[in-house]
A and B are shown apart, each in its own frame.
Chain A
């Protein structure tokens, strides 16, 4: 499944191919068009910012890309494979191996060390106990937190916690990093550090899709998608500012 996804990839094929993607919520007599007929293609190695006012469907879009939700209509091909037909266990495997999630509120397990938090995705990937610590340390190293491996989340700053969460997202070597307002809980300077980290990871080849409503954050991406009322209203490439 996930490994098939990776092997099937040819460098030129789009990583994400979304066609007429639609998600409705029925609230009594009303229908909320959370996502309405969105078509977009994202290639490997792109760094995409998703922007738009509150309620415009950004999170809905991300949840569909992340295989946490299923569309009501339309198609979503991830690395050439149609996701709609997968069973719930297959979707779990795709999330585990092909996708890394970063959240606004970090979502670290509070009683576990940074190392244990980063090891968590490997628990579900069937990685042997021996290999876990080594790979988790390498992931912590790539976010510059190797020395904090034994710390608990409460002993880390917000920026450090988010970097642990990014290490956790990277540990299974995913194709795609999805981040829904990853800097929403951080101050400007820390946000800039996190964006610099994303840019570094992107230069190493990982595809990133990131939601933000701050233009200062979106500047670091090389493409910006604008949503309004569930529709994609603008898709613009730009020369990214270098964060660090």
Chain B
């Protein structure tokens, strides 16, 4: 008996009970569809997160002034002007592997253009900041060292700000005001979209660090060298954990903190963000695997059940086949091919339903989805194995029938 004969006979017997065959496949269909759809949603979300993480820039360590919350209580945040431009210089010169340190101050404020005004966040920066955070300039020019050195009254606007102040118009060269200071728009930033927390990264304006300190009331406070944060960009392949430890030691030493005293600054490695994302997507994958395993198990048991019924119903047929010369192996293979055909048709339907579901989710919920070919291949292979595994016991039962008794079976 060739595999083709066995396959034909399998299709015939599945067609004999179309409703029963369809119901038997349902477990596999649901299992495979669930896996395909959920992997598509998960992969789409992960893909989006990866793109967002890439938009933050890579190999970055953020250092900010003020101690980080311990046990929910924020200790002295922002009280002391602990972090300075000199700290940023020291990190750049003393820590090996540092490419750039970009000091910055930030301030929430209203920006006015003509009769429009808009609440946004101002960053006082140096040109290095644009490099470190991978900001591009879409229009006009970015800030220069000269702007910083001379505290030029110029500003670069984020896309969201441009949209809200100028609508479709060209902002380059236009005057704007923050507090009472007039600034000239020299450039527009490239678009970055939302960050991992869903905040709009394009709702910002950049001015030279010196301009910010000089013109924003209350900004310079007691120490004219103070900064809110600095971005430290490490060279590719640098050990981020070691760099953080070295920066911490250096800053503690510079701030004269005694052992046991809390840090008066915080530090965050942007790869940590991606690490937590990785962990949560691993948890999601595990959940998917569990759902898939359970539904394929249930589907497999359904197949085993229906194959046992089929063997009993077709006992005389098996007896006849043995009498006219089928070997036991032929009977075994015939029933295995039948159970595998059942599970593979179920898998094919499941793939179609899964892709359809992913597309509906993408259209209705607006979630990004990504059909992964490997998930399709895996689902089909596993379904095939389920068909073989759960078909084995019924098939062996069929192959072991005594032909004389089988022929007498009512």
Q: A residues near B, CB below 8 A?
A: 63, 66, 68-69, 88-89, 92-93, 95-97, 101, 103, 107, 109, 111-112, 120-121, 123-125, 168, 172
Contact = CB atoms under 8 A, between A and B. Distances in A.
Interface string B284-325: 000000000000000000000000000000001101111111
B396 interface: no
B317 A95 contact: no
Contacts of B407: 103, 107
A88 to B, nearest CB: 7
Interface residues on B, range: 20 to 34
Interface of B: 1-2, 5, 12, 16, 316-317, 319-330, 403-404, 407
Q: Is the interface of B mostly helix, strand, loop or mixed?
A: helix
Contacts of A109: 317, 320
A95 B5 contact: no
A26 to B, nearest CB: 16
Contacts of A107: 316, 319-320, 407
25 contacts: A68-B322, A68-B404, A88-B327, A89-B329, A92-B322, A92-B328, A93-B327, A95-B323, A101-B323, A103-B407, A107-B319, A107-B407, A109-B317, A111-B16, A112-B12, A120-B321, A120-B324, A123-B2, A123-B5, A124-B1, A124-B324, A124-B325, A124-B327, A125-B325, A172-B325
A85 B407 CA distance: 24
Contacts of B12: 111-112
Contacts of A93: 325, 327
Which 8 A-B pairs have CB atoms at the shortest separation, nearest pair first? A96-B325, A124-B325, A121-B324, A92-B327, A107-B320, A95-B325, A89-B327, A68-B403
Contacts of A103: 407
A172 B326 CA distance: 13
A95 B327 CA distance: 10
B225 to A, nearest CB: 91
B317 A88 contact: no
A123 B327 contact: no
A69 B404 contact: yes
Contact of A92 (B2, B317, B319, B326): B326
A103 B321 CA distance: 13
A172 to B, nearest CB: 8
A110 to B, nearest CB: 9
A172 B261 CA distance: 97
A233 B337 CA distance: 49
A89 B399 CA distance: 12
Given A89-B328, A120-B324, A125-B325, 6 more contacts: A69-B404, A88-B327, A92-B327, A111-B16, A112-B12, A172-B325
A111 B16 CA distance: 8
Nearest to B317: A109
Contacts of A92: 322, 325-328
A93 B1 CA distance: 12
A101 B323 CA distance: 7
Contact of A68 (B321, B323, B326, B329): B323
B314 to A, nearest CB: 9
Contacts of A95: 322-325
A67 to B, nearest CB: 9
Contacts of B2: 123
Contact of A168 (B317, B319, B322, B324): B324
Contacts of B403: 68
A129 B105 CA distance: 83
Nearest to B13: A111
B330 A124 contact: yes
A66 B321 CA distance: 14
Contacts of B16: 111
A101 B316 CA distance: 14
B46 to A, nearest CB: 49
Nearest to A95: B325
Contacts of A89: 327-329
A122 to B, nearest CB: 9
Contacts of B327: 88-89, 92-93, 124
A88 B321 contact: no
Contacts of A112: 12
A123 B1 contact: yes
Nearest to B6: A123
B62 to A, nearest CB: 72
A101 B406 CA distance: 15
B324 A88 contact: no
Contacts of B326: 92, 124
A172 B325 CA distance: 11
